[in-house]
Amino acid sequence: AQSVTQLDSQVPVFEEAPVELRCNYSSSVSVYLFWYVQYPNQGLQLLLKYLSGSTLVKGINGFEAEFNKSQTSFHLRKPSVHISDTAEYFCAVTAWSGNTPLVFGKGTRLSVIA
Amino acid sequence: ETGVTQSPTHLIKTRGQQVTLRCSSQSGHNTVSWYQQALGQGPQFIFQYYREEENGRGNFPPRFSGLQFPNYSSELNVNALELDDSALYLCASSPETGGAFFGQGTRLTVV
């Protein structure tokens, strides 16, 4: 079974500052990793995913994440945030074996302050 | 725009009633999954269908059931609603390459 820990429930940051949202996972098998964003009263939008290959993954809206197998981490970063980045961010993991469901962390609330 | 649509967007039901939520997945995505997201929590996996058969289930009681149809649509049925069933219900369709594309969700309130 897989599990995900998002180490920060809330992250306040000033506009144009950099941000890192932390995610650690646990799994006995190889995994795929994802970051999703959820704006108020909406569903989940895929930001980026790691399936294989380069450990640095670039996504939409200027976000990127780095897969670190030895530290079982998949932290999300953005060099300069905007007010519009204020949202809930979820890290998720699924096993390589086919058709396994996503296991989500509890989410990190990113608040960008003007 | 994920290509996954859910209906209705909001719903209010009384405890003990039954509800059916609907989802239209992306064409060509053979896997559809349903998740429950309680307020302030991450989504929790309810069950998953692959080519119209259930092939995975989370820790939810049998009163949560589903169907997947050949036209990539699916349903989530919940019987004997309880107050704790109040949540955002998310449908996701998945390509063979992995990951999931989510709909906007149905906000269910049980009173």
Q: Quick: pLDDT tens for B15-37.
A: 999 999 999 988 888 889 999 99
Instruction: Report the pLDDT value the prediction gives residue B59, as an integer from 0 to 100.
Output: 94
Cα-based angle A56, A40, B12 (whole degrees, multiple of 5): 135
CB-nearest to B42 from A41, A45, A90 is: A90
Percent of chain B exceeding pLDDT 70 equals 97
Residues in chain B: 111
Confidence of residue A71 (pLDDT cuts 50, 70, 90): very high
Tokens linked to B46: 């309810």
Higher pLDDT, A64 or B30: A64
Identify the band that residue B108 occupies on the pLDDT scale cut at 50, 70 and 90. very high
Residue type, B27: S
The answer for A 54-93 residues in CB contact with B (under 8 A) is 90
Q: What is the pLDDT of residues B2-18, one digit of tens each?
A: 689 999 999 999 999 99
SS3 (DSSP) at B11: strand
Q: How far is B8 from chain A (nearest CA, A)?
A: 13
Question: B98 pLDDT exceeds 90?
Answer: no
**A70 min Cα distance to partner chain B (Å):** 23
- Put simply, whether A109 touches B (Cβ < 8 Å) is no
Q: What is the DSSP string of A82-95?
A: -GGG-EEEEEEEEE
Residue B85 burial class via C-beta count within 10 angstroms: exposed 0-12, middle 13-18, buried 19 and up: buried
Closest CA to B25 of B50, B58, B2, B42: B2
Decide if B26 touches A, using CB distance below 8 A. no
Q: Which of A32, A43, A98 sits opposite B99 (nearest CB)?
A: A32
Nearest by CB to residue A99, choosing from B6, B50, B92, is: B50
**Who's near A94: CB < 8 A, 6+ residues apart?**
A2, A31, A32, A34, A100, A101, A102, A103, B98, B99
pLDDT band at B1; cut points 50, 70, 90: low
